[in-house]
Structure 1
Amino acid sequence: MGLSAEDERAASPRDEEWPEAEKAEKLARGAALKWASGVFYRPEKLEGLGQYRSRETQRNSSIQSRLKSTVQSYLEGVSAGLEQLRSAAQEVQSLCQDLGAARWALLNTADRFQGLQQMRALMAEHVQLASVVQVLPQLFSVQEVFSHTLQLLHGQQLLEAHAELMMMEHLRDDILSQLHLHGFSSAQATVLSYFSGLQELNDTLAKQLWDIVGSSLHLVHEDPVLFVSAVRIIEREEKIDDTLLLEATFLPPGRPKGWRQKFYHVLQETITGSRFQAPRMDTEGSGLARHLAALQKGIVSELHVVKDLMVQCVPAHYNILSVCTATFHQALSSHLQDILREDLDKQALFLLLEWTLRVYHSQEMMGHPDLLPEVDVSALGPLMSPELVDQTERKYVMKVKASVLEWMQRTLEVEFKEWFREEEPETDHQGFFQSALPMIVMQMLKENIQVASLITESLRQKVYNMALEELEAFLGRSVEPLAPLARPCRDLQGFPQIQLLSLSLQPGSFPPGCPHGLVLYAIPFPLPFPGPLGLTPRRHPVLTALPAQLLLMEMELLVASQYLRALMQKKVVCKSEEERGQLCARLLLDATQLRELFCGLGLDQSQQSLEAVFDLQELICLKDPALLSLEVLGFITKYPDVSDEHISTLLDIRGDVSKEVQHMVLDMMAQHPQVVPEGYRPIFSTILVPVPELPFCLRKGKCA
């Protein structure tokens, strides 16, 4: 259905005025057409057209009613709003008229305000005069209060004196604040002059406070009330400082006082000056030891006082124990640096290192049970820096080196005088001439190394290296006087770093061409057998030039026998096949390294006794214990000086040999006794086996 021409003309103005309505109507028509086409797309549906028309007519009527109601309500609201706007416009117009009238009235009375300004100035002056009149009694009594306060200070009535002092300061500061506020700066000098006695009282009180703080470690024992009073006064002043700094409008003269920081400063100066700024002390002999002992005793005692007494006399936020601990630590560090600037002997250097690195942190001092856990110096850093410790250790080693050098020189001179006397030297059990000098030298060096090991591993290593260097030099010095006697044999060269020297004269048994029969033996320290499986092998000494092939052979025999002797101590017993394999690998590695060492020194492999270590390794590595009898038979044939005890010990080291197999092996050895051939170099006969523990029996019966 379309609209008529009249309807379109009637709707045109409205559509031009309300374009949204036209759009909404088109959308509605489109939606209606879409709905109708969906409902009446079949002829039989047209039968219900009347019902749809009736229902939609009712719905349109309802919607139109609601629209009329809404529009009516809207129009009523608009009408009420217009009425209120009209009323407000009238009131604004009336107010403008009233303001204009008031403005004209004020302009007419401007001359009268000049008189009120004078009145205001007079009133302000009156207020000031009234304030002055109120404080006049206090102003007149200032000098009297000063005298009374001074008497209280002399009587050590500190809290009462401080209360009066605060009252006078408050009066002065209030007057100065008023002058500052009103711009009367020129009058401030007069006020300060009138209250000049306050500064004297303040200085007197401060002096007493710092004297008390300086004696605090004694006062907390004798008169803690006086110390507590001083702390309370300091806290009062700290609160006044905080208040004035927070307001930040006017700071009176002398503020902020900062007495809490002064408290810390005086306490630290007291701790530092009492023990660490004493006159120059004796750094030699026992003087340094006594000084360090006094420091140790005094510091522990004073920290006890701080922990048990002083902590209870000050607020918790003072952290007084931590402050004192840090002060002692820093003062000690500086004090030790001052001592180290002196030319100290080796004993003094050792004492400083021991005291710094061991005693200071031990239970005898800062780790004392009565100080823990409150006292903790672990967070304060080392007492001596690592660089200073290293420098001090080097100084100590230099002093020890000088002492060792001097001692060795004197000892060597005495020794050669003994050797070149007309009387024959002492002989050993084999008839060889012998000297105790090597053992004495080694004992002296060993003692120095052991002493150094009490401090740090780095110091032990430094002394150890120095000992090797000095020993090498000593060997060279010891050979020089004998060179004329030994030169026909072979030129003696300097000895390398070795660990033991045995100087022997062997009459009738020396290489051809040595008419005086002088043979020099340089024998390394017995090589210790490794401990538990998996420790790293130790660095063996290195030998380069030796006087004779015989010397190399003797050294190699000694090394091999000492290695076997260490093994025979049964410090290692295999508990499994895996451990047995590890032991065999270790034995093979050590024997190979030692064989290569002596081969490098010029000793042929056929002349070495280390072959016994290889054969012994094969004996331990044998996988089938049933073949031990055959293996042992071959072993004793090659080494006829081996005993039943040696074989029993080796079988025990295996850890898997039963008693029956062991008895069978020993029976086989009894059935095949060995004879030591001529020219055989014995190796096992010099090795003693530990005696087994015998069972303990009380009766004649069979022992368990």
Structure 2
Amino acid sequence: MTEEGLSDEDQTQLHQDLDTLWTQIRAEVQKSFGPDFHEGSLRAAVKCILQQEEMDSKWLSLDPGLVPVWRPNRTLLDHNEVLGHMVQACLSQRPLQDGAGDKSEAETASAAEGELKAESEKASKQDSLDVTICRLAAQMREDLLYVQKTVSPCYPEHMNILQTYLLLYHRCFSSRLEQLANAPLDNKGLSCLLHWANHSYPREVVDPELEGKVDTDSLGPLLPTELVQTLQEQYLTFIQECLQRALKFEQELWDKPSKWSSEECSFPQLASDVLQMLVALQKVISVGPEQSQTIPVLLDSFLCRYVEAVEEFVKGNHINVASMLKAQLVCEEQFREFVLNHEIDEQKKLSCLNSLNALRDCGYCSLTSGIRSNLKEYVTGMWTGPWLDGSLPVMDSLLDFVDQKLDCLSDLKPCCAQWLLGRLHRDVALRYFKNLLKTKRRRLNEQVAGANRMTDDVNKMDAFFTKKGSDSGWVSKILLHVAEVLRLQDPDSIQLELVFLVQLCPDLSSPHVCRLLLLKSGLSTDSIRAAKCSVEENRPLGPPTNCSPPFFSHLKVKWIKVKMSQFELNTCGC
């Protein structure tokens, strides 16, 4: 259509003038990142753009039949397309050449796309992917800061030109990374892309100075969700293969006794290598409920295979089993610290801790078997006359034996030695308590003498293990309460002492109480029944607080002993 009142010649001239105006506007906009940038010229160009937009709005408000063919002129849309080509040129590190404004938009776009493709191929062959992405990110960060300080003041606030540039850079940066992601990638490249897609972007490309001035939430994901999932699956497969190789390599070391040294026992590599892999995976996988369980599932699966391998090796009675286990206990400490200090689903955490407890059990049982298997013969003298009068040093002999055997564990790392000695402390105390119960009813003077001897023995045991590094002093408190039960004769005092004992150690059972009280002569059935009922009434309910770890539950009172107790107590109901 033609505008009424204008000749064809006038219309042609007007159309040419608009083309000339656009050429001048485009030239000034393209200078925004160049050395010949002039703030006043860009302001004038932006003013012309807004005037053309206003003219478009006026014409579009009229009857369509009156609108000339060159309206709407869409100068602002063309302006934004030019910005897009400028951004592509900036991220390709190819500055706009003189005369670039004379090129058609199709030629500019084609050239930019060609440059992007060529640089992507070059980066995959020569540059590391990490260097390429970091360069692009640094360029984007620098350019956006430049736009905010230099270019943005030339535009009216309502145009929000900084946000426009941010969206254009986002699209170009995203397109570049998608091209790189679709090229052949090694594992380092996978890690780099995932780290940027899931964690670094857009934080690393937007300067803190721009905070509050741009809306980064509107950008959307850096890479398509489906592509990220594919990359994550590839990287997860790589990590799983690495974990399998790490365990296989560790098992091969176990079969080479000559390779083990005291240093290798103190500083084994397996846990460190595995945890580094998991931490690396944590840094690249996306954040979400499903992804948060990826690492716990991997670790749980690995620990199950790892413990099975250790247990199988121990069964083989290899000559280096002790050295190997010392190293694995160090690994166990490192794995345990990771599990306890990271946010892991309770079910998976419990499963991982069960595997680690099994590893501890395996190491402890093997390394201390020579001690525990001989404890019985050292406590057989309890309740004999020489023991009661102090002439038979049962505890001294036992501790001398333990001290000799502990020499072979002197190279354990302190963190491992502490819990191992603590557990051995508990087991020695259990063996002592078991022999205490395995006797007949004692007369009053024997009870008092036995309590005194027991107090001396417990104090010696506590001093010995505490000096060695045990943190299980709580077992001594339990045994001292037991000694006090033996010493006391007043039924009410005995009952009160048992209440203290069950509150300290809630796993004190009715059979244990009955068996302990059967050592004492002079107690009536009613007194024993009252003491037993008081223990049950005062047993802590719910999760124990300020209580010792389980002790009595590790010592099973045999069925026959319980039956004997029930027979002797008649109606006590034990």
TM-score, normalised on structure 1? 0.43
Decide whether the 8 Å contact of 1:556 with 1:610 is kept in 2.
no
Decide whether the 8 Å contact of 1:304 with 1:371 is kept in 2.
yes
- Alpha-carbon offset, residue 292 of structure 1: 1.4
Letter in structure 1 aligned against 2:176: H
- Alpha-carbon offset, residue 393 of structure 1: 3.0
Decide whether the 8 Å contact of 1:504 with 1:521 is kept in 2.
no
Q: State how far apart, in whole Å, the 2-side matches of 1:465 and 1:636 are.
A: 46
- Alpha-carbon offset, residue 261 of structure 1: 2.1
Decide whether the 8 Å contact of 1:234 with 1:260 is kept in 2.
yes
- Pick the aligned partner of 2:294 from 447, 459, 462: 462
- Alpha-carbon offset, residue 568 of structure 1: 11
Asked if residue 394 in structure 1 is aligned to residue 217 in structure 2, the reply is no
Q: State how far apart, in whole Å, the 1-side matches of 2:225 and 2:151 are.
A: 34
Decide whether the 8 Å contact of 2:303 with 2:355 is kept in 1.
no
Q: State how far apart, in whole Å, the 1-side matches of 2:68 and 2:362 are.
A: 98
Letter in structure 1 aligned against 2:281: A
Decide whether the 8 Å contact of 1:568 with 1:650 is kept in 2.
no
- Pick the aligned partner of 2:366 from 554, 561, 570: 554
Decide whether the 8 Å contact of 2:419 with 2:470 is kept in 1.
no
Decide whether the 8 Å contact of 2:421 with 2:470 is kept in 1.
no
Size of the aligned set, in residue pairs, is 376
Q: State how far apart, in whole Å, the 2-side matches of 1:291 and 1:309 are.
A: 27
- Alpha-carbon offset, residue 205 of structure 1: 3.6
Q: State how far apart, in whole Å, the 1-side matches of 2:468 and 2:301 are.
A: 42
Q: State how far apart, in whole Å, the 1-side matches of 2:302 and 2:193 are.
A: 25
Change beyond 3 A, Cα 1:387–1:550: closer
Letter in structure 1 aligned against 2:5: I
Q: State how far apart, in whole Å, the 2-side matches of 1:453 and 1:343 are.
A: 23
Alignment of 1:473-484 (within 5 A): none
Q: State how far apart, in whole Å, the 2-side matches of 1:384 and 1:556 are.
A: 56
Letter in structure 2 aligned against 1:317: H
Alignment of 1:7-406 (within 5 A): 173-176=3-6, 191-192=7-8, 195-218=11-34, 222-248=37-63, 250-272=66-88, 274-275=90-91, 277=113, 278=116, 279=118, 280-281=120-121, 282-283=123-124, 286-362=127-203, 364-366=204-206, 368-384=207-223, 389-405=228-244
The residue number in structure 2 matching 1:4 is none
The 3-state SS of whatever aligns with 1:396 is helix
The 3-state SS of whatever aligns with 1:643 is helix
The residue number in structure 2 matching 1:694 is none
- Alpha-carbon offset, residue 310 of structure 1: 1.5
Alignment of 1:381-460 (within 5 A): 381-384=220-223, 389-405=228-244, 418=256, 426=260, 439-455=268-284
The residue number in structure 2 matching 1:76 is none
Decide whether the 8 Å contact of 2:264 with 2:327 is kept in 1.
no
- Alpha-carbon offset, residue 404 of structure 1: 4.9
- Alpha-carbon offset, residue 243 of structure 1: 2.0
Change beyond 3 A, Cα 1:217–1:648: closer
Deviation larger for 240-249 or 376-385: 376-385
Structure (1 or 2) with the greater helix fraction: 2
- Alpha-carbon offset, residue 241 of structure 1: 1.7
- Alpha-carbon offset, residue 348 of structure 1: 1.4
- Alpha-carbon offset, residue 650 of structure 1: 5.7
- Greater RCO structure (CA 8 Å; 6+ sep): 2
Q: State how far apart, in whole Å, the 2-side matches of 1:640 and 1:449 are.
A: 42
Decide whether the 8 Å contact of 1:303 with 1:325 is kept in 2.
yes
Asked if residue 565 in structure 1 is aligned to residue 565 in structure 2, the reply is no
What are structure 1's unaligned runs of at least 5 residues?
Answer: 1-168, 177-190, 429-433, 490-502, 510-517, 570-590, 592-604, 616-628, 655-704
Q: State how far apart, in whole Å, the 2-side matches of 1:316 and 1:631 are.
A: 87
Q: Identity of counterpart residues, as a percentage?
A: 16
Q: State how far apart, in whole Å, the 2-side matches of 1:564 and 1:556 are.
A: 12
Alignment of 1:470-549 (within 5 A): 486=316, 505=320, 525-526=332-333, 527=336, 538-539=349-350, 540-542=352-354
Q: State how far apart, in whole Å, the 2-side matches of 1:202 and 1:286 are.
A: 46
Q: State how far apart, in whole Å, the 2-side matches of 1:450 and 1:226 are.
A: 53
**Residues 335-390 of structure 1, C-alpha deviation per residue, up to 9 Å, x if partnerless?**
3333322332221122223334443344x531x23222313313434435666555
Q: State how far apart, in whole Å, the 2-side matches of 1:225 and 1:505 are.
A: 82
Letter in structure 1 aligned against 2:215: D
Q: State how far apart, in whole Å, the 1-side matches of 2:469 and 2:4 are.
A: 104
Letter in structure 1 aligned against 2:39: P
**Residues 46-80 of structure 1, C-alpha deviation per residue, up to 9 Å, x if partnerless?**
xxxxxxxxxxxxxxxxxxxxxxxxxxxxxxxxxxx
The 3-state SS of whatever aligns with 2:209 is coil
Decide whether the 8 Å contact of 2:129 with 2:189 is kept in 1.
yes
Change beyond 3 A, Cα 1:259–1:642: same
Decide whether the 8 Å contact of 2:195 with 2:284 is kept in 1.
yes
- Structure with larger Rg: 1
Letter in structure 1 aligned against 2:180: I
TM-score, normalised on structure 2? 0.51
Q: State how far apart, in whole Å, the 1-side matches of 2:91 and 2:429 are.
A: 64
Q: State how far apart, in whole Å, the 2-side matches of 1:391 and 1:610 are.
A: 57
The residue number in structure 2 matching 1:642 is 465
Decide whether the 8 Å contact of 2:28 with 2:42 is kept in 1.
yes
